[in-house]
Amino acid sequence: MIVSRVATSTSERLQATFTRPVRLAVGGAGSLLVVAGCLLPWATFFFGFPGKVTLAGFPGGSRLYPLLLVAVAPLLLVAVEGRRRAGLAAAWGVFGITAFNIAAIGFGRDLPLGLLEERGGGGLGAVAIGAWLALAGGALLIAAFASLPSSDEERPFRPGLPAALELLTIALSLGLILFAVVIALEVDETSRFISLIAFATAAGMTLARLNVFAYVTELFDRHRTVTLAAAAIAAVVFPFTQGGNAYWIRVFASIGVFAAAAIGLNVVVGLAGLLDLGYIAFFGVGAYVGALFAGAARTTVHVKLPFLVVVVMGAVIAAIFGVIIGAPTLRLRGDYLAIVTLGFGEIFRILAFNFDWLTRGPNGISGVPDLAIGSYNFGATNEVLGFSLPGFANYYFVELILLAAIILAFTRLNDSRIGRAWIAIREDETAAAAMGINTYRLKMLAFGIGAFMAGAAGTVNAHVTTQVSPDSYGFLESILLLAAVVLGGMGTIGGALLGSAALFIVPEKLRSFQDKRLLLFGIALIVIIRFRPEGIVANRRRKAELHDADPSTGDASGAPPGAPVVGAVAQ
């Protein structure tokens, strides 16, 4: 309260004292300082801090990120009026990245919780002039943008390009996303990765506040076929770019399986509004079915069935479990449902632990063999068109087909009589029933379909990980899946994909964070829910629901919105 009052009065004072020339001068000086600071060394002597930060004249290491952010700042200050919020995001990004790097260079390993386990820690004496200049420049930029009038009207970003250029924009945007992913994958050092995330956040917020995202999303929507085709091509081409190295192909295959399950959860949570905290159990059922009927080395069922049969079987058995669990629980609403599903999830894990005769208990089923179609072995390295494809690429493609099928199913269901009924139930179950919807049956259907998708993903996962054990299907995994859906954006495909990717890549990158993974996700969830409750990829409905800035729900007639409640009977 007090803090915000001080902040308001500071920015008010800035707005009063900074006339346009002063603001331009301060902002210009800030930009120059940042540019100069990023070209000068950030550390006084070399002690292994990543990114050649002792060199002058080129922006190595994390120095590149403030430089990129500051590139848009003068433009926002001069050319585009009323862009206070966008400019502030960029300026705070510059300041934050620089401040973090000063801390990392100065104190490195001594940071609390051992968050940075790489070199660093020369004390503040190790921090060179460049970093201080960039920090000062960032502060000046913040002041300059804060002094802009805060009456920031929303202006849609609509360049009105000809169709050909629109398609080019789509291609460029997709290319940029891919490029960003590749860059992110190549950054190995913790401190640089954190700087990169900070940069991505600041740049993303700047673009979002300029409504660029809204425009690009709209373009994607309008040219859906082109976008989808381009995305599909990119996904198919990806394994060929890895030069025979299976590592990232493996990671992306895991992401794909996780995302397929997340989309299934999206049917249950995002569409029908049923909070299911035990969802991973269905994924587990699929995984066990997949492992048991694959002819694994250490198993209890010595039957090997064709892969496609097993996928369908796993999905159907998971769906049956879904209906069995749903039948008694779906009469409950809201919090009660969440608690009961949580209990059922635990029951699954404990059963898997104890039914030794079927699941081999804590040992699990392991040694799931490679798939083979005829003489074609999925585990072997292949030469395709002169490119060497690691064996794992085959599973990557299997996962891609599964994901495509699940995405198609989700989109079609979402926009159908069934999807509308689910959304109606989420919005107001009583009214939905009064409109002739059999709410119980439809909720059961959502549960069953969600479980079906998770089961299919689970069977594929058994082959991706080659082993299945009860520990992989606990409460934590359910929560992670839910976090992926919420982080990415409920009820959207892009959200589930992005959320799953984030939850996989970030721990992969921040090895020193491994033990603190949950802490990190907890913080990320809090930040997202505070600042962007609809998730990174927003669903139109969610956005309307959560940003209730438009009070026009009230009335145009002069009647109070909560019209006189008369004649109410004891209910």
Partner 1 sequence: MSVSASSAPTAATPPVLEARGVTKVFGGLTAVDGVDLEVGEREIVGLIGPNGAGKTTFFNCLTGMETPTSGRISYRGRTLSGKPHRVTESGLARTFQNIRLFPNMTALENVLVGRHCRTSQGVLSALGRGPRYRREEADGRARAHELLQFVGMDRHAETLARNLPYGDQRRLEIARALATDPGLLLLDEPTAGMNPQETASAMQLVRRIREQGLAIVVIEHDMRFIFSLCDRVAVLVQGQKLVEGTATEVQQDPRVVEAYLGKPVDGG
CA 552 to CA 435: how far, in whole Å? 26
How far is Cα 499 from Cα 262, in angstroms, rounded to an integer? 9
Using CB under 8 A, which of 419, 458, 474, 488 touches partner 1?
A: 419
C-beta of 87 vs 491, nearer to partner 1? 491
Shortest Å, Cβ 408 to partner 1: 8
Q: For residue 237, which of 184, 183, 169, 178 has the smallest C-alpha distance?
A: 178
Figure out which of the listed residues 386, 417, 531, 549 binds partner 1, where binding follows CB under 8 A. Answer: 417
Question: What's the gap between Cα 197 and its chain centre?
Answer: 12
- Strands 376-377, 387-389: pairing is unpaired
Q: Does 559 bind partner 1 (CB under 8 A)?
A: yes
Q: Which is nearer to partner 1, 358 or 413 (CB)?
A: 413
Q: Closest distance between partner 1 and the C-beta of residue 278, in Å? A: 23
> In angstroms, rounded to a whole number, what is the distance separating the alpha carbons of residues 197 and 200?
5
Interface map 487-506 toward partner 1 (x if CB under 8 A): --------------------
Does the footprint of partner 1 cover residue 566 (CB under 8 A)? yes
Residue tagged 């804590």 (tokens): 362
Q: In 3-state terms, what secondary structure has residue 139?
A: helix
Q: Does 412 bind partner 1 (CB under 8 A)?
A: yes
In whole angstroms, the minimum distance from the beta carbon of 430 to partner 1 comes to 7
Question: Could you tell me the two tokens for 264?
Answer: 């299934």
Q: Is 373 helix (H, G, I), strand (E, B) or coil?
A: strand
Which of 445, 497 has the CB closer to partner 1? Answer: 445
Which of 430, 515, 530, 549 contacts partner 1 by CB under 8 A? 430
> Taking CB under 8 A as the rule, does residue 437 contact partner 1?
yes
**Which range binds partner 1 by CB under 8 A, 205-213, 275-283, 311-319, 437-445?**
437-445
Return the structure tokens found at 538: 């927003």
Report the C-alpha gap between 228 and 226 in whole angstroms.
6
Between helix 163-186 and helix 190-209 the angle, nearest 10°, is 160
Residue 124 near residue 89, CB atoms below 8 Å: no
| Gap between the terminal Cα atoms of the chain | 40
Amino acid in position 310: V
In the set 157, 236, 544, 547, which binds partner 1 (CB under 8 A)? 544
Q: Where are the alpha helices (DSSP H) in 18-128?
A: 20-39, 64-78, 84-107
* Total site size for partner 1, rule CB under 8 A: 51
Q: Could you give the CA distance from residue 295 to residue 312 in angstroms, rounded to a whole number?
A: 17
Q: Which span (14-22, 75-83, 385-393, 546-554) binds partner 1, by CB under 8 A?
A: 546-554
Asked if 331 interacts with partner 1 (CB under 8 A), we say: no
Interface with partner 1 in residues 443-462 (CB under 8 A): 445, 449
561 binds partner 1 (CB under 8 A): yes
Q: Which stretch binds partner 1 (CB under 8 A): 310-318, 453-461, 475-483, 548-556?
A: 548-556
Could you tell me the smallest distance in angstroms from the CB atom of residue 553 to partner 1? 5
568 binds partner 1 (CB under 8 A): yes
Choice from 434, 515, 530, 549 touching partner 1 (CB under 8 A): 434
Shortest Å distance, C-beta 406 to partner 1: 11
Tell me the sheet residues that pair with 298.
366
CB of 139 to partner 1, least distance (A): 41
The dihedral through the CA atoms of 24, 27, 30, 35 has a sign that is: negative
Interface with partner 1 (CB under 8 A), residue from 439, 461, 466, 500: 439
Instruction: For residue 435, state whether it binds partner 1 (rule: CB under 8 A).
Output: yes
Of 385 and 566, the one with the shorter C-beta distance to partner 1 is: 566
**CA-based nearest residue to 174, from 494, 474, 484:** 494
CA–CA distances in Å: residue 155 to residues 152, 159, 251:
9, 12, 40
CB-nearer residue toward partner 1: 187 or 437: 437
Stretch that binds partner 1, among 81-89, 239-247, 376-384, 538-546 (CB under 8 A): 538-546
Q: What DSSP designation does 363 have? A: G
Yes or no: say if 483 and 499 are a contact pair by the CB < 8 Å rule.
Answer: yes
* DSSP β-bridge partners for residue 182: none
225 binds partner 1 (CB under 8 A): no
Q: Which is nearer to partner 1, 320 or 418 (CB)?
A: 418
- Concatenated DSSP letters for 80-103? STT-HHHHHHHHHHHHHHHHHHHH
> Under the criterion CB under 8 A, does residue 163 sit at the interface with partner 1?
no
| Total residue count of the chain as it appears in this document | 571
Residues that bind partner 1 (CB under 8 A): 408-409, 412-413, 416-421, 423-424, 427-428, 430-439, 445, 449, 541-542, 544-545, 550, 552-571
